[in-house]
Structure 1
Amino acid sequence: MVLAGVLIFAAPVWAQSADESFGGRFSGFGGRFGASAEPVVSVASQFNAPTADQPARLFVTATIKPGWHIYSITQPPGGPLATKIRLTPSQEYRIAGYFQAVPPPETKVEPVFDNLAVESHYGSVTWHAPLELAPGIDPATIRIEGVLNAQACDANACMPPKDFPFTAVLGPGVALPEEKPAESEPSRQALATEVLAATLMGAFLGGLILNLMPCVLPVISLKLLSFIEQGGQSRGQVFVLNLWYAAGLMLVFLILATFSASFSLAWGEQFTLTWFKVTLTALVFVMALSFLGVWEIPIPGFMGSGAAGQLQTQEGAPGAFLKGVFTTILATPCTGPFLGPVFGFTLEEPAYVSYLVFGTVGLGMASPYLIIGALPELIRFLPKPGAWMETLKQVMAFLLLGTVVYLFTTMTERYFIPTLTLLVGLWFACWLIGRTPITAPPSKRNAAWIGGAATAILVGILAFTLLLEDLKLPWVMFSSEALAQARQEGKTVMVDFTADWCPNCKWNLAWAIDTKRVNQLVRKNGVVPMVADWTDRSPMIKEVLTKDLGRQSIPVLAIWPAGAPDEDVVILDGTLIESQVLQALERAGPSGNGRQSFNSQ
């Protein structure tokens, strides 16, 4: 509850500052690559009219730049992405068979894809399929719209997959060699069935092995404790609890399947979202605090109780369900054998295939717990519940804290301090809730929850508002050489002498220096902003401070006007306000090569 409140109120703050946009390395995939003006892939399409003995036929032709290739529409999964042809649905026509390629793709076994057969097209390829036109429709009036999705590669690199739109109109068609389409359809359908079956088998094995991945091991301790607690329970009760655990696990996989089918979200891609990483870090941290007895999550049997007299509290259905959810969420940054090709198979498949594949991975991951639920005698070797479980639980808390450390490594550095501050706020909230006895009156317990939640929310908002640096100025690193070079070029230079251990420096940066109005004036006057970071010892920075500026401490903001002698430098030190910085910049004036002196006025 506390964590949910913090995230509801604080998430918009860091979401606005998160770097969630990505620039591509390739530009203009549909028409250009690099500086070349020649399209790498171009697509044209037409269809012909039906005859007495032949149906109408749709032709989609791709012309590929020399030295490049694309992959076939029958490319097996586990390697390059297969080409896809998608048509806009219409009442005027429908495809009456499979697309076939002329000429057929060149096939080569690639060791890099574990000796998979890779099917490639070079130069030009035409796909054709029988077309059924609606009765009474004039073929000359029909426009068939669609897209060809293909990935172009050369010997050194591959472009991202791209949709190439096309519009087919009535035409003479393309001359084709003699063909036997009726013979190819059953074999193609059989091949698709075999490929899907092999993919589902890999999905099940991959899910099973996922239980042994490093991301999951810290929270498998949750299930280990519950297995111990289940030792004295009936077969039916053990099976039901493990069903609940599997249900929580499967729920997460089905949600991931929805994201994959609807938003093309890849496995583990949620870890590219800063808000998700911060949320998960906070969740793991408060769970570790619960393991250490700082507080108790108010879910029966979720992770036992901190009181010695309650060590054998039985696991409940909500606790088993949430354990499954939490374990699966932590598993998503890891992948294992089989899962790479398996998830790649879903990229261009229908939505039901994504649900089938993700569900099979989840079933594989849940299978050990379902087997133990059906055969509880498998866990008879585990010791009986007792006071030793409290020590084990606390030891496992440090595994969760180790997971917190790992999650910090997945964030960019600018989020370290705000996230750490949020964790301290949550720590206080958990302590305040945990110090209130369960036997206290409801009013006192509610007051502890409200006070803890309010404190954590406030700390979270302040952390991601005040401590998250969102720099507006185009700062460059300071050095004596960089300063001399900029001044020689006739630039006005502003240098902020700062350090991470200097709180006044942080205040000046946030409220006086790196502000919207200062940024506008700096850009208008062509001022070069430099940062002299004295966080670690730097004889060069100390020499400039002491010899050139006559200062022994920071914060110091120094502005060298363009063309002015060294002694005309403007120096501001101590705690600043924005107006002081603006006035100093106005006095220093803009950059320019023609200034020979500085009017200090």
Structure 2
Amino acid sequence: MTPWLSALLATLLLLSPTARAVDEADLLPIDEAFALSAKATERGRIEFTWKIAGGYYLYRHRMGVQPAGGGFKANPLELPDGIAYTDEFFGDVQTYRDEVTAVLTGAAADGVRTLDFQVKYQGCADVGICYPPHTKTVTVELPADGGAPAGTDPLAAPAGTDLFGVATNPAIAAGGLPLPENQAFRFEAIVDTADRLLLRFTPAPGYYLYRERNSVELAAEGVRAGEIQWPPSQSHFDEHFGDVQVYFEPVDAPLPLIREHTRAVPATLSVTFQGCQTDGICYPPMTRTVALQLPAGGAVGGPPPETPPAKAGTPLWLALLLALGGGVILNLMPCVLPVLSLKALSLAQGGGNQRKARVHALWYTAGVLASFAAVGGIALALRQAGLALGWGFQLQQPGVIAALALVMVAIGLSLSGVVSFGASLAGAGQSLTEKSGPAGDFFTGVLAVVVASPCTAPFMGTALAFAFTASPVVAIAVFLALGLGLALPFLLIGFVPALAARLPRPGAWMETFKHVLAFPMYLTAVWLLWVLAKQRGADAIGLALVGAVGLGLGLWLWEKARWKGVLAKAIAVAVILAALWPAVLVQRMPAPEKAAATEAGVVAYSADSLEQLRRDGRVVFVNMTADWCVSCKANERTVLGRPAFREALGRAGAVYMKGDWTDVDPAITAFLESHQAVGVPLYVVYPRDGGEPEVLPTLLTQSIVDEALARAAD
């Protein structure tokens, strides 16, 4: 052990705030902590033995031996199994304590009496300090034929070449000591705005800071910290963690704040980070705490995210046309068909009356347009308030899913004849369930929009991306064009007599048809409950089923109380309202723990994993999906779940990565926004050479996928 390393580690322990309880005498020189000896038991067998001091350990995977010159043809080093250990630097490793012997076998050249070996090893002390990788040259005397073995020279000098591939640090070689951590890594935090802090990290010359090994805690009433917004970093090969992203220069990183109020409050910020000395020691994770005063103001929910400008290549007229076409195609989506069946029944009940058909069509269109305008307005307002949301965001709320399931059950019960909504024969309009009258038509349009939200039709993606990046007035215009497309088929039937004349005439068949239509509504409720199970588990399903039973009881009581007094009706209404309470309880339930990836051969999405795969030169197929997205499930069943897709992945050497947006997930939302997508499905193929990714259409075919993967692999 050279004197500089002993002084280095002792000084670090004395100066580091995290290790002030360690006395200088507690840290041994490396040759005392790991006393190495070697002997030749025979000419073709060398044993290297480390006697390890108490409170110290060696890494198995950081040990190696190589002949320093000719004269010995060596086999791989033989090491015994170590003790399993999860290490903060290397992950799951094996370590040795007390004593360990490694055996190097081989063939020594004739006439050779002594051999030099370069021995590498690295270890740590239990107090939390790791020694730098150490290389030592030892000389072993070989026995003569049948002679006694000889030992090593304990004073052999360290080799000039590090077997780990790390050059000797000139500053340390010259006797320089590492700085204490508060000088090696300075940290400051200031209040930038009411919604944002500015963090400044300043590594000293010859030191670097890890980008990924950090965490933030903010103690402030009604305010929590977002994710640190790191600027671009530098790739670096690190002895502790391999290829990492680091900063050698001072770096400023904004930290957004998510506020529940706009009051001024005191705050305490604690930031934990880690860094190393170039070709030297790695400091343990260090925590700095700063007291701040957050001013009044800011936006509740946090600062709005920066959104990219609308694509210059998408003019307004094209966005409106695409939205109109996307709305028309929504009529063909399976999630909309049950509601459209109800609308077809109401038009058939018109019996060919052209005036009634126009009234039906106009009120249905009003319901659709009002709903699209409301959903678009809410989404834009929430995004402006700092909540990144996309199309279909309402179905990420389990309470909404549960409430929709109960609505479907109620409609199914009405179609089955259990109850009929509306006034008496003397009242205005017929029943809401039969979908006649202005209220019924308007309600059907609202319901069509709600159940259409999980579907993303072709042409919708570009139009909605344009809407979410344009001015509010233009955005609402795009949403209205989308609604107009959804309502267009019924507008044509209402205002084109030739189309209306093709509708079947009313008759006794309609009662049977109405009963049949109840079953698609029940199936829709089942599908929604399946989505709810994915979001909140079996307990949520139990609550929703209790609500469905209570709703059925309340509707039955309402039907029985139709011709009775106010008290009977009040009881029925109370039961119905109580049946809706489970939807509120479901919304408050925590999400269950999910496995990172539940399918064989599928990697769960994370930005870090994707970045690492791209650095490794891998082709990556990213599938952003959700359990409530019908289009997603259709693509997975017809393309992504087939053997042909797996074969295409194999040919391209591609990794299949999947992100689940069933629940709110800011990381996936950020990924969608980075590709100017406002919902799922989203399919992105990343090429092997690190070039620009390719976004695939929302409706896949096997040929589209095959061609995209082939291009990415070239």
Give the structure-2-normalised TM-score. 0.38
Which protein is bigger by CA-based radius of gyration?
Answer: 2
Give the structure-1-normalised TM-score. 0.44
